[in-house]
Amino acid sequence: MNSANANWTVESTLVQVGVGRDQATGGLSFPIYPSATYRHPALGESTGYDYTRSGNPTRQALEEAVAQLEGGARGLAFASGMAALTTLLLHFSAGDHLLVSRDLYGGTYRLLDQIFAKFGLDVSYVDTTDCDAVEAALRPHSRALLIESPGNPLLGVADLAQLGALCRAHDLLFIVDNTFLTPVLQRPFDFGADITVYSATKYLGGHNDLCAGLLVARTAELGERLYFLQNSTGGVLPPQDCWLLLRSLKTLALRLERHNANAQEVAVWLQEHPAVTAVYYPGLADHPGHAVAKRQSRGFGGMLSFRVGTPDKAARVLQRLQLISFAESLGGVESLMTLPAVQTHADIPEADRLRLGICGSLLRLSVGIESVCDILADLEQALSD
């Protein structure tokens, strides 16, 4: 039994994840159950677990914790964010039309464009920071809106309440990839979302040592449908990794406080730097999505992007980094910098990328939880010629 109390704050709920579940020993840390299969007590009877793809106690502890954290009916854990997205997209049928944020993780674009398109899924990429543009892109066979907010890598902010209302009016499934902010900073179900998606590889895992994905369904009915797809396709998260993710969740709120504070300071500092020509961070007062972000989220997150004069300059910055690692991914305790045009967003056709402003001089920084003085000192030396 989970001892979680509905009156606890999100911070306390996170710390108490799994506590009180291990009835056999009272262990605070919920155990890893590696068993692939389970003995039946008798013909037609089950302990509740038959086969680990269909159900595993450690995965169940994680999935219930995540559902509770998000305020949803059901959580489902997958071997990666892409496995979660693939499973989710299998909910749709050939001929269905999806509206999708154009400021999108490149891997999601690749999945839609190079795989699901072959199976007849029709996708329009729209500027989801503009609700009118989303409405204008609707078609009679539109079934869902899939957004990332803030967007990746330009940190555009969508108005969740407006989009939620639009989805309700047009009977669209509203799906939010909430990887950048997590349920601690942004709660999409409060704005009418039906399903949330996470690359738990990022902030939820938080230590760059785990690859995992999550789906959370707001209603039991949707949860049942997604469970059917999870069990049928099998991209589940192994029990050892479920345990690691349970352990990581305990410090999520604390880590995010530091990510937020550091990112805000770095963004302001970058704005003042002569070698930097633009900074994209929703916490900056002049960011176009600042007011909406302030209204709908509890913090602006740890992700920012910035431009330097030329691609050569960007390459030199990456080359000179010392504390900050030149590496893909985001959301871990260590600061990471990437060049989206050739890494995370390489699969987006060049013309589209350039139209969006994802060019060789745009750098994306996942601000870690190191001392901000050390992060700024590293940026200073990397930006100096």
- Given the residues 202, 255, 313, 353, select the one marked as catalytic: 202
Out of 55, 72, 81, 235, which residue is the one contacting ligand PLP (CB under 6 A)?
81
C-alpha span between 235 and 90 (Å, rounded): 12
Contact 314, 363 (CB under 8 A): yes
Q: How many residues bind ligand PLP (CB under 6 A)?
A: 14
Indicate if 109 belongs to the active site: no
Indicate if 202 belongs to the active site: yes
Out of 52, 58, 129, 152, which residue is the one contacting ligand PLP (CB under 6 A)?
152
Q: Is 348 in the site for ligand PLP (CB under 6 A)?
A: no
Interface mask (CB under 6 A) for ligand PLP, residues 201-230, using x and -? Answer: x---------x-x-----------------
Indicate if 177 belongs to the active site: yes
3 state SS of 127 = coil
Indicate if 53 belongs to the active site: yes
Q: Is 366 in the site for ligand PLP (CB under 6 A)?
A: no
Spacing of C-alpha 121 from chain mean position: 23
Q: Is 72 in the site for ligand PLP (CB under 6 A)?
A: no
Nearest residue (CB) to ligand PLP, 60 versus 152? 152
Least Å distance, CB 4 to ligand PLP, is 26
Least Å distance, CB 340 to ligand PLP, is 10
Nearest residue (CB) to ligand PLP, 81 versus 192? 81
The CA-based angle 295-298-301, given to 5 degrees, is 110
Task: Point out which span in 24-32, 79-87, 165-173, 346-354 binds ligand PLP (CB under 6 A).
Answer: 79-87
* Number of Cβ within a 10 Å radius of residue 42: 6
C-alpha span between 385 and 381 (Å, rounded): 8
Which 171-200 positions form the footprint of ligand PLP (CB under 6 A)?
A: 177, 179, 199
The candidate with the shortest Cα–Cα distance to 184, out of 168, 163, 206, is: 206
Q: Looking at the chain, how many residues does it have?
A: 385
Contact 156, 127 (CB under 8 A): yes
User: CA-CA distances (angstroms) from residue 341 to 208, 328, 356?
Assistant: 22, 12, 11
- Name the residue number minimizing CB distance to ligand PLP: 81
Count Cβ atoms within 10 A of the Cβ of residue 247 and give its class: 0-12 exposed, 13-18 middle, 19 or more buried.
middle
Contact 276, 268 (CB under 8 A): no
C-alpha span between 123 and 142 (Å, rounded): 9
Which 106-125 positions form the footprint of ligand PLP (CB under 6 A)?
A: 107-108
Residues engaged in binding ligand PLP (CB under 6 A)? 80-82, 105, 107-108, 148, 152, 177, 179, 199, 201, 211, 213
Q: Which residues are catalytic?
A: 53, 105, 177, 202
